[in-house]
């Protein structure tokens, strides 16, 4: 245990995990990525990325691989020209793969659609023709506010085809959140649907658009997909049905090539100031890294694999690993409209079995939900087709990792625990499934061609076993090119902290283990300072989840007169665990368990059993709200919560629980 004095600028590295899982000889022998990829990238980074870019179709080859002369504003493949939508549809048809399935779409009520690459090309062409008829051209912005429908994919690719920027807004966001994003981007057209299915109910969606566009002067048209047949209000001048406008269009459209640095999309992410940040991504570098990472991290064999990323297209994971990466690689994939427990808790495994899914990519929060429901549910299905499992969105606890491998992966599949952000555009740190001996809970090392370091507050690299701040010290192809309309905010937010060194600071804490592998420790804002020790919430949560009774945990630091901060834990018990597990003796046992796993310094001051945790709609735990509860403050803004009633339950429970 490190001593408090002199260690306040680094994270204490407390939790040890020594289990490793090398790939089987059979898997490694057929893997897309080999260890040689690291050497090739290290020998000549720019030549390495040029080779990855050659996997795409370019109308004009680039002059320069990387222009970093105006850092932190990068230009990748400058002078090159391509059409992103052509790369995701037409070129596969031209190569003779038009009859390959691009999308197996599964609706929540059980309706399905199978879309081949030839059909994808025709649908994207129709949609592009329709948008052009509505006045959308290169450089214009289109807001997309849709559930997980094929039309969402057609719309994104149609924008890319025309050189228009799409701004996808998650279908769970409020009218006000939508309005702010429409106005910031000055979107010309909004694409939505009459409603969406959520847990067997048809919920309105266009109604939010109607409310949002009352104060959006840039919007000229609202294009509406008929999904649920619920009644909608109608403005005859502004509103247009998709089937009236898109379906009659010709199914041919000649794509134009755009500059590699032509903007592709804006994706808004929440900012600390409350004003959302419009993260800007461009075309050539983004598509290069999306395709490269999808091919190597998931070991994609497009002729035989069925890929399923369970994210929503409203998040960056849905952009890169549903739309652009898989389709650029000619993959066959599953897209599912609904929730994992509609109409029953085995729905995901039923879909895996039905389509023979081989590559499955989901979030730790989803995995922990499956743990809570119990291993008996996936055991009822044939999951033998699965050969690679992935995790994304936050660090995965070692116990959830093990559960995932054993119960979903049959004890044999590699797991790729991927670290990246909306801002990075594509996966940055991850095991390579045919190369890496995986460690439960560790993202391990930067991918070939990517460079990352863990540094102290002054920017000096910490050694093996040390913890600190995660930085990216070299530019990468899919990096954000700015914040829409606010270059200064881009510089201040991501580059000011280590301006002298030229590092991008991600906002995440990380540590090296004794082997030099990377462990992500969550947002730096989520680090607790207990008696001078900087302790990561992630490590304490992992220790709690490693107890047999605990399915999920969230930990916060609450003000403490003695220690500065005291650790307060909120835990959800596993399905089938009896009520006594929430009793005083059981909670004392949990506190001792954390002490044993990490050290006495990390023992929670208080543990509370809760039915649910406050999460955003993308599954991230909102620790800010839990801190409010732990410090008896009025609970702050809950507008982005998936279920705001959760906070009432937690607040009630806390008043009746106390520490021993």
36-43 helix and 45-53 helix, angle to the nearest 10 degrees: 110
- Confirm whether residue 418 is marked as ligand binding: yes
* Cβ-contact 317, 392 below 8 angstroms: yes
| Annotated binding-site residue? 417 | yes
- Is 421 assigned a ligand-binding role in the annotation? yes
25 is in an annotated binding site: no
Cis amide linkage into residue 72, ω under 30° from 0: yes
Is 3 annotated for ligand binding? no
347 assigned to a ligand binding site: no
Residue that is written with structure tokens 């999920």 in the block: 552
The reply to whether 317 sits in an annotated binding site is: yes
* Residue 341 assigned as binding residue: yes
Is there a binding annotation on residue 200? yes
Task: Say if residue 550 carries a ligand binding annotation.
Answer: yes
The answer to the question of whether 34 is labelled as a binding residue is no
| 639 class by beta-carbon count within 10 Å (0-12 exposed, 13-18 middle, 19+ buried) | exposed
628 annotated to bind ligand: no
Give the residue from 401, 422, 531 showing the smallest Cα distance to 17.
Answer: 401
Q: What is the Cβ-side half-sphere exposure of residue 618, based on CA atoms within 13 angstroms?
A: 19
Buried b (16+ CB within 10 A) or exposed e, 472-493: bbbbbbbbbbbbbebeebbbeb
81 is in an annotated binding site: no
161 is in an annotated binding site: no
- Residue 406 annotated in ligand binding: no
Closest to 417 (Cα-Cα) out of 402, 400, 396, 399: 396
Q: Is the dihedral of CA 367, 368, 373, 377 positive or negative?
A: positive
Residues ≥6 apart with Cβ < 8 Å to 511: 11, 13, 454, 462, 465, 466, 467, 468, 518, 519, 521, 536
Q: 508: annotated binding-site residue?
A: yes
Strands 504-512, 518-523: pairing kind = antiparallel
216 annotated binding-site participant:
no
State the Cα torsion 539-545-546-550 to the nearest 10°.
160
What DSSP designation does 414 have? -
Question: Is 7 marked as binding a ligand?
Answer: no
Extract the runs of DSSP E, i.e. beta strands, from 513-549. 518-523, 527-530, 533-536
The three-class DSSP label of residue 611 is coil
Contact status, residue 318 vs residue 345, Cβ threshold 8 Å: no
How far is residue 516 CA from its own chain's centroid? 25
Q: Residues 42, 442: contact at Cβ < 8 Å?
A: no
| Annotated binding-site residue numbers for Mg(2+) | 545, 547, 550
| Annotated binding-site residue numbers for CoA | 198-201, 317, 341, 531
| Annotated binding-site residue numbers for ATP | 393-395, 417-422, 508, 523, 534
| Annotated binding-site residue numbers | 198-201, 317, 341, 393-395, 417-422, 508, 523, 531, 534, 545, 547, 550
């Amino acid at each position: 245990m490190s001593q408090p004095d002199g260690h306040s600028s680094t994270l204490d590295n407390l939790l040890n995990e020594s289990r490793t899982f090398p790939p089987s000889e059979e898997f490694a022998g057929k893997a897309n990525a080999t260890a040689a990829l690291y050497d090739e990238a290290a020998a000549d980074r720019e030549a390495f990325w040029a080779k990855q870019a050659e996997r795409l179709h370019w109308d004009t080859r680039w002059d320069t691989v990387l222009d970093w002369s105006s850092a932190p504003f990068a230009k990748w493949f400058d002078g090159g020209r391509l059409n992103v939508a052509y790369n995701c549809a037409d070129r596969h048809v031209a190569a003779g793969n038009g009859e390959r399935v691009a999308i197996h779409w599964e609706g929540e009520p059980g309706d399905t659609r199978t879309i081949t690459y030839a059909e994808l090309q025709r649908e994207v062409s129709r949609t592009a023709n329709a948008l052009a008829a509505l006045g959308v051209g290169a450089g214009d912005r289109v807001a997309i506010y849709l559930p997980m429908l094929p039309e969402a994919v057609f719309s994104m690719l149609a924008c890319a085809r025309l050189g228009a920027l799409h701004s996808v807004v998650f279908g769970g966001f409020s009218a006000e959140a939508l309005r702010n994003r429409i106005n910031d981007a000055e979107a010309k057209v909004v694409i939505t649907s009459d409603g969406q299915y959520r847990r067997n109910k048809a919920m309105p969606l266009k109604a939010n658009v109607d409310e949002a566009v009352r104060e959006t002067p840039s919007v000229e048209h609202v294009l509406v997909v008929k999904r649920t047949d619920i009644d909608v209000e109608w403005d005859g001048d502004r509103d247009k049905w998709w089937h009236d406008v898109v379906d009659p269009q010709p199914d041919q459209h000649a794509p134009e090539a755009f500059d590699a640095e032509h903007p592709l999309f804006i994706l808004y992410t929440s900012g600390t100031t409350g004003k959302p940040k419009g993260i800007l991504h461009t075309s050539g570098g983004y598509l290069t890294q999306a395709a490269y990472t999808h091919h190597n991290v998931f070991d994609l064999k497009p002729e035989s694999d069925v890929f399923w990323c369970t994210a929503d297209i409203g998040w960056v994971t849905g952009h890169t690993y549903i739309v652009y990466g898989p389709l650029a690689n000619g993959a066959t994939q599953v897209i599912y409209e609904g929730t994992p427990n509609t109409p029953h808790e085995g729905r995901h495994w039923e879909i895996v079995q039905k389509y023979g899914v081989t590559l499955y990519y989901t979030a730790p929060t989803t995995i922990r939900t499956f743990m809570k429901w119990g291993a008996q549910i996936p055991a009822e299905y044939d999951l033998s087709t699965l050969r690679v499992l992935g995790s994304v969105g936050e660090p995965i606890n070692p116990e959830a990792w093990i559960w995932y491998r054993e119960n979903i992966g049959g004890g044999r599949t590699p797991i790729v625990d991927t670290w990246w952000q909306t801002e990075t555009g594509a996966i940055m740190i991850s095991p390579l499934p045919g190369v890496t001996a995986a460690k439960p809970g560790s993202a391990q090392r930067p991918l070939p061609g990517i460079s990352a370091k863990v540094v102290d507050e002054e920017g000096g690299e910490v050694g093996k076993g040390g913890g600190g701040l995660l930085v990216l010290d070299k530019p990468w192809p899919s990096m954000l090119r700015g914040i829409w309309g606010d270059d200064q905010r881009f510089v201040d937010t991501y580059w000011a902290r280590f301006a002298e060194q030229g590092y991008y600071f991600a906002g995440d804490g990380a540590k090296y283990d004794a082997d030099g592998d990377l462990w992500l420790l969550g947002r730096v804002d989520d680090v607790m300072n207990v008696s001078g020790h900087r302790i990561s919430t992630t490590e304490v949560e992992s220790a709690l989840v490693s107890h047999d009774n605990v399915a999920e945990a969230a930990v916060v630091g609450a003000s403490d007169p003695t220690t500065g901060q005291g650790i307060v834990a909120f835990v959800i018990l596993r399905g089938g665990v009896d009520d006594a597990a929430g009793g005083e003796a059981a909670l004392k046992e949990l506190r001792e368990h954390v002490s044993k796993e990490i050290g006495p310094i990390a023992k929670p001051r208080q543990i509370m059993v809760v039915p649910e945790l406050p999460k955003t709609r993308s599954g991230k735990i909102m620790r800010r709200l839990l801190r409010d509860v732990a410090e008896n403050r009025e609970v702050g803004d809950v507008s982005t919560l998936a279920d705001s009633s959760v906070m009432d339950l937690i607040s009630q429970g806390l008043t009746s629980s106390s520490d021993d």
